[in-house]
């Protein structure tokens, strides 16, 4: 049951107006909810015309909208949970939301039972995405208001995302910025490219974390969030992500089952409280094993790009 404490802006307003503002539901829907007894002030039922006072604790049960999706068992690690948001660690191989060719087994379907909401009916709660074969941290909203505020924060570039990427070859500078627009490939619409008829601004920053035989380990941050941005930008730099068969070499190095890209850090202001939130995710086992092989000189697998 979502709940909140009325603030100064709520003081003196009717209960139905306050709950509609906080929940993102229509005022008519809130009035029906209150009439059904699923809204409480201080643990007791209240009328729609109740005048809210600052400091009152308000709780409600939002009506469940019918969903075209059904819950499924999908692997993920729950990192954080409250009434407004989830932070999850997505494993490689899991698609974030249903799309043509991936109608089942997505992260969204795995999270339905936890109560996610906001945005499109086929991707409820989704604020940002990761590629299927990229692992790591994602925010998912549990209410329409939280979703709207998080999407707005993302547009203002206030959600900070950090990635661990293994680039092929020796990246020459210890840090850098790639400021090159990205759009759909001119001939292959499933790919993105720096050569596009309708490119959009894209900025990627990187810092070298380690230099290994045949590779450079990078910490990467996004100023923008275009599709496949890190993969396209590093390929354009001449140092594609290791194991990326779409934008790099067609064969993966021995011992690396997928592209070496992991969303390792996430920081944002909580959409309801404004509290600063920060989360870290260590690289999963498949990437750590490949790094360990490289650290041993690459003789036990790993190889080179």
Q: Is the pLDDT of residue 33 over 80?
A: yes
What is the C-alpha separation between 289 and 276, in angstroms, rounded?
Answer: 33
CATH number among 3.30.70.1560, 3.30.2350.10, 3.90.1150.10, 3.30.70.100, domain 158-305: 3.30.2350.10
Cα separations in angstroms, 63 against 36, 81, 225, 237, 286: 10, 21, 33, 50, 42
User: What is the gyration radius of the CA atoms in the chain, in angstroms?
Assistant: 23
Percent of residues, the chain, with pLDDT higher than 90: 66
Contact 17, 136 (CB under 8 A): no
Q: How confident is the model at residue 24 (pLDDT cuts 50, 70, 90)?
A: confident
Instruction: Give the closest residue to 74 by CA, choosing from 58, 90, 85, 59.
Output: 90
What is the C-alpha separation between 170 and 167, in angstroms, rounded?
Answer: 8
For the residues 3-24, what does the mean pLDDT come to? 90
Give the other-Cβ count within 10 Å of 84's Cβ.
19
Q: Which of 131, 133, 174, 188 is catalytic?
A: 131
pLDDT of residue 61: 80
Give the residue extent of every domain in the chain. 3-60, 68-156, 158-305
Q: Do domains 68-156 and 158-305 have the same CATH topology?
A: yes
Contact 244, 258 (CB under 8 A): no
pLDDT of residue 304: 67
| 85-90 and 57-60 strand pairing | unpaired
pLDDT digits (tens, 9 = 90+) for 36-89: 788 889 988 889 899 999 999 998 887 655 668 888 999 999 999 998 999 999
pLDDT digits (tens, 9 = 90+) for 193-223: 888 878 889 999 999 999 999 999 999 999 8
83 flagged as catalytic: no
What is the C-alpha separation between 61 and 181, in angstroms, rounded?
Answer: 44
β-strand partners of 51: 14
For the residues 31-37, what does the mean pLDDT come to? 84
pLDDT digits (tens, 9 = 90+) for 249-278: 888 999 999 999 999 999 999 999 999 999
Phi, psi (degrees; rounded to nearest 5) at 235: -65, -40
Whole-model pTM? 0.77
Query: Helices 15-23 and 27-35 meet at what angle, rounded to 10?
Result: 120
Class of domain 68-156: alpha beta
Instruction: Give the closest residue to 41 by CA, choosing from 22, 8, 26, 19.
Output: 19
Instruction: Give the closest residue to 33 by CA, choosing from 51, 43, 46.
Output: 46
pLDDT of residue 296: 46
pLDDT of residue 225: 84
What is the C-alpha separation between 129 and 146, in angstroms, rounded?
Answer: 17
| Sequence-distant (≥ 6) Cβ neighbours of residue 297 within 8 angstroms | 213
CATH number among 3.60.21.10, 3.40.50.300, 3.40.640.10, 3.10.290.10, domain 3-60: 3.10.290.10
Instruction: Give the closest residue to 204 by CA, choosing from 185, 223, 218, 219.
Output: 223
Alpha helices in the chain, H assignment, sequence order: 15-23, 27-35, 107-111, 144-155, 229-236, 285-295
């Amino acid at each position: 049951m979502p709940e909140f404490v009325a603030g100064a802006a709520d003081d003196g307003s009717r209960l139905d107006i306050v709950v509609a503002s906080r929940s993102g539901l229509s005022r008519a829907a809130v009035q029906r909810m209150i009439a059904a007894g699923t809204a409480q002030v201080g643990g007791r039922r209240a009328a729609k015309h109740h005048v809210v006072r600052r400091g009152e604790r308000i709780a409600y049960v939002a009506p469940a909208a019918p969903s075209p999706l059904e819950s499924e068992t999908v692997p993920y690690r729950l990192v954080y949970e409250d009434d407004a948001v989830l932070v999850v660690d997505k494993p490689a191989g899991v698609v974030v939301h249903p799309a043509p060719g991936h109608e089942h087994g997505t992260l969204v379907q795995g999270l339905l039972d936890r109560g996610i909401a906001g945005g499109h009916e086929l991707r409820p709660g989704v604020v940002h995405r990761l590629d299927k074969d990229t692992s790591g941290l994602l925010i998912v909203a549990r209410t329409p208001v939280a979703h709207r505020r998080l999407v707005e924060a993302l547009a203002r570039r206030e959600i900070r995302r950090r990635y661990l990427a293994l680039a092929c070859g020796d990246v020459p500078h210890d840090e850098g910025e790639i400021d090159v627009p990205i759009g759909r490939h001119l001939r292959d619409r499933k790919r993105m490219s720096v050569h596009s008829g309708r490119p959009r601004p894209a900025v990627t920053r990187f810092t070298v974390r380690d230099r290994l035989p045949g590779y450079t380990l990078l910490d990467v941050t996004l100023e923008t969030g275009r599709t496949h941005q890190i993969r396209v930008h590093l390929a354009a730099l001449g140092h594609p992500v290791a194991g990326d068969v779409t934008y790099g070499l067609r064969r993966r190095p021995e011992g690396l089952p997928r592209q070496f890209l992991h969303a390792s850090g996430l920081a944002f202001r909580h959409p309801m409280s404004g509290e600063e939130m920060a989360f870290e995710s260590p690289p999963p086992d498949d990437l750590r094993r490949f790094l360990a092989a490289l650290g041993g000189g690459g003789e036990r697998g790993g190889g080179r790009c």
